[in-house]
A and B are shown apart, each in its own frame.
Chain A
Amino acid sequence: MAQTITIDPVTRIEGHAKITLTLGDDGRVSDARFHVTQVRGFEKFAEGRPFYEMPSLMARICGICPVSHLVASAKACDGLLAVKVPETGANLRRLMNLGQITQSHALSFFHLSSPDFLLGMDSDPATRNVFGLAEKFPDLALAGIRLRKYGQEIIETLGGRKIHPAWIVPGGVNDPLTVEERDRILAGLPEAKDTTRLALDLFRRTAPKFADELDSFANFPSLFMSIVGKEGELEHYDGKFRVVDSDRKIVADGVAPADYADIIGEAAEEWTYLKMPYYKPLGYPYGLYRVGPLARLNTVDKCGTPEADAALHEFRAMASGSILSSFHYHTARLIEILYALEKIEELLTQTDILNTHVRAKAAPNASHGIGVSEAPRGTLIHDYEIDDDGLITKANLIIATGHNNLAMNKGVLQVAQRFVDGKNLHEGMLNRVEAVIRCYDPCLSCSTHAAGQMPMIITLVNPDGTVADSITRG
């Protein structure tokens, strides 16, 4: 009879997860596994459907980052049409994507993770959530809610609704931006920037109190991957792959989106529905790499906007090479919001943004299309093949959170070895195991595009298979 401690579900993450820890002879954790427990079959049921349905259908992979799927899917469809998207159309897609980065990062920081560092890792689980935050820090909770709302309203202003807008389409976008809409978005910028600066400042002051977490929250050497812009700048909409190592040395650069399979392989394990992507030259499982906000700030030469660049400079001063602790995903996320807000302003103050030619139209001209973009959680790849009638014959998706699968597993093991004592468990230990997962802000509805959900189960198994201790959460 194995001893099981169940954390089910992993909470305050976007999805359902389950964790299994195995104990060694000394009562310490010897192995850890992070399980994703849902599969939905998008890659399979896309087959036989018209390619132009894909953006709207694939958006339903995820309610947090539907815009990422709209972007990557529409870009794969642009490839099938073999058209050039009008520049204004591309910039309007960018704008919606930046709105999404703002809302998704605000959600991750304020609604999901800040209860850990503002109320405390060991605080009462009954109130360790956004409502508990609102009770104790009403102004901050309100500011966070309003920042997320601002990002959502940008999406709504452009696409007519906040979640699953049908506005990004193959060849561009559905309709142009009006002066009134532009001015409405611009009017919200000052408050959004103030809130982001406040959060960044608050987190800088709070982080040092978490020395143990900083040190053990998936803090290990690894590769980092993202797409970067033409001048090595931060770029979420369009760019080429770059991979750097823990010294921030470039190991791959300028890899075209269409060649992703040259550098990324995918493995599967029977204990999780989430595939395990790895960096091909190093093989599986050694080719572990990380994606997302922290990875992007490690791969780029610069953000390309003044305030975010100043924050990046300060961020990088913490280490000589790449920033390795996953606890700093939070810091990176806030710097990215700052960048997104600056970039929104930059795009909206260009006169071209009001151009009305925002979509190129064509019939399918190619049988294979690949779309890559940087979702809030990392690099997202949609890869479609169609037949002569424009019906999908093959779809392969590599999802942002998936890239981090190996790294999340390694991170869970590291934090469990530091904090979990199998002979004497308490709730705060298990919350830390979950909190390392929250750093990655995994998007599990995305991750389970193939399958399903993740409850989090922590199983403690003695070497002889007996139960060492158990804890009931909730």
Chain B
Amino acid sequence: MSKTRVATVWLDGCSGCHMSFLDLDERLLDIAPLIQLVHSPIADVKEFPENVDVALVEGAVSSDEDEEKILKIRERSKILVALGDCSVTSNVPSMRNQFEPNRMLHAIYGDGVIPLGGGPVPTLLRKSRPIHEFVNVDVYVPGCPPPADLIFDTISNLLAGQKREDAPAPKFG
């Protein structure tokens, strides 16, 4: 049986969803033989590869770079999972949406040198938005962060080849 090719990605979030994934603890070792982690912040493959079976995406889309990434992820993944509230609703990152980005940066960095994007740092989009506003999402896993058990159930079901409509219904709150 070939291993399921899994990728995890972190856009504009706090890494809490990735930490909740690591909170699978010993269960990580149970799923290890079933998956090939082809791309992740906790692994060393730099480029998002082709033919990914399951992509778990944490975080909102807040910069031109995030947008570029989410389009590539969608194109290269069979199943796209929006992992956690920032990914599902844009949550905390969207709290900056009331401000025009450059004015916000001026407020944060003061009167001196200000990184306004372009060059070596990405440029902020006018608003931080959830990933479903850019691409089609197959499975939503809400929570800030989603509990490890819910992440485990979601992954287990996907590994068992379940159709996405059979995915466990997450409870909000």
On A, residues with C-beta under 8 Å from B are 6-9, 11-16, 18, 20, 33, 35-41, 43-45, 57, 60-64, 66, 107, 111-112, 125-126, 128-131, 134-135, 138, 141-142, 145-146, 148-149, 152, 161-164, 267-273, 275, 431, 445, 450-453, 455, 457, 472-474
A11→B8 CA distance, assembly (Å): 12
Query: Would you call A9 and B41 a contact (CB within 8 A)?
Result: yes
Query: Would you call A64 and B15 a contact (CB within 8 A)?
Result: yes
Answer whether residue B1 sits at the interface, using C-beta atoms and an 8 A cutoff.
Answer: no
Q: Which residues of B contact A268 (CB under 8 A)?
A: 109-110, 112-115
Query: Would you call B43 and A11 a contact (CB within 8 A)?
Result: yes
Closest B residue by C-beta to A45: B95
Query: Would you call A131 and B107 a contact (CB within 8 A)?
Result: no
Query: Would you call A163 and B120 a contact (CB within 8 A)?
Result: no
Report how many residues on chain B are interfacial, defined by Cβ distance under 8 Å.
Answer: 59
A431→B43 CA distance, assembly (Å): 12
Answer whether residue B154 sits at the interface, using C-beta atoms and an 8 A cutoff.
Answer: no
Query: Would you call A472 and B47 a contact (CB within 8 A)?
Result: yes
Chain B, 14-49, CB within 8 A of any chain A CB: 14-20, 22-23, 25-26, 28-29, 32, 37, 39-47, 49
Answer whether residue B160 sits at the interface, using C-beta atoms and an 8 A cutoff.
Answer: no
Query: Would you call A474 and B46 a contact (CB within 8 A)?
Result: yes
A126→B38 CA distance, assembly (Å): 7
B36 to chain A, nearest CB (A): 9
A333→B88 CA distance, assembly (Å): 35
Query: Would you call A63 and B15 a contact (CB within 8 A)?
Result: yes
- A9-B41, A11-B43, A111-B42 as given contacts; A148 in contact with B22, CB under 8 Å: yes
Closest B residue by C-beta to A107: B22
Which of A35, A44, A138, A474 lies in contact with B96, CB distance below 8 A? A44
Closest 4 CB pairs of A and B: A63-B16, A125-B44, A41-B96, A474-B47
A126→B46 CA distance, assembly (Å): 10
A45→B13 CA distance, assembly (Å): 16
Q: Which residues of A contact B119 (CB under 8 A)?
A: 270-271
A23 to chain B, nearest CB (A): 16
A450→B105 CA distance, assembly (Å): 8
- A38-B12, A62-B14, A129-B37 as given contacts; A146 in contact with B25, CB under 8 Å: yes
Query: Would you call B121 and A45 a contact (CB within 8 A)?
Result: no
Query: Would you call B107 and A44 a contact (CB within 8 A)?
Result: yes
Answer whether residue B54 sits at the interface, using C-beta atoms and an 8 A cutoff.
Answer: no
Query: Would you call B42 and A63 a contact (CB within 8 A)?
Result: no
Q: Which residues of B contact A9 (CB under 8 A)?
A: 41, 46
Query: Would you call B44 and A35 a contact (CB within 8 A)?
Result: no
B156 to chain A, nearest CB (A): 17
Q: Which residues of B contact A39 (CB under 8 A)?
A: 105, 108, 115, 124
Number of A-B contacts (CB under 8 A): 201
Which of B43, B47, B62, B108 lies in contact with A450, CB distance below 8 A? B108
A78→B131 CA distance, assembly (Å): 38
- A11-B44, A472-B47, A474-B45 as given contacts; A272 in contact with B115, CB under 8 Å: yes
Query: Would you call B114 and A270 a contact (CB within 8 A)?
Result: yes
- A60-B16, A145-B28 as given contacts; A164 in contact with B46, CB under 8 Å: no
Instruction: Convert B85-122 into 0s and 1s, putting 1 for each residue whose CB lies closer than 8 angstroms to a CB of A.
Output: 00000011101101100001101111011111001111
- A38-B62, A129-B37, A273-B115 as given contacts; A141 in contact with B43, CB under 8 Å: no
Answer whether residue B77 sits at the interface, using C-beta atoms and an 8 A cutoff.
Answer: no
Answer whether residue B144 sits at the interface, using C-beta atoms and an 8 A cutoff.
Answer: yes
17 examples of A-B residue contacts, CB within 8 angstroms = A11-B46, A15-B15, A38-B12, A44-B107, A45-B95, A60-B16, A63-B18, A64-B16, A64-B19, A107-B22, A126-B45, A128-B44, A129-B42, A141-B29, A162-B148, A272-B121, A445-B15
Known: A142-B26, A269-B115, A474-B49. 18 other contacts (CB 8 A): A7-B46, A11-B40, A33-B120, A37-B65, A38-B12, A41-B95, A41-B99, A43-B107, A44-B99, A61-B14, A63-B16, A130-B42, A145-B25, A148-B25, A267-B113, A268-B115, A453-B63, A453-B65
Answer whether residue B140 sits at the interface, using C-beta atoms and an 8 A cutoff.
Answer: no
Answer whether residue B130 sits at the interface, using C-beta atoms and an 8 A cutoff.
Answer: no
A131→B28 CA distance, assembly (Å): 8
Query: Would you call B14 and A445 a contact (CB within 8 A)?
Result: yes
A44→B97 CA distance, assembly (Å): 11
- A12-B43, A129-B43 as given contacts; A40 in contact with B92, CB under 8 Å: yes
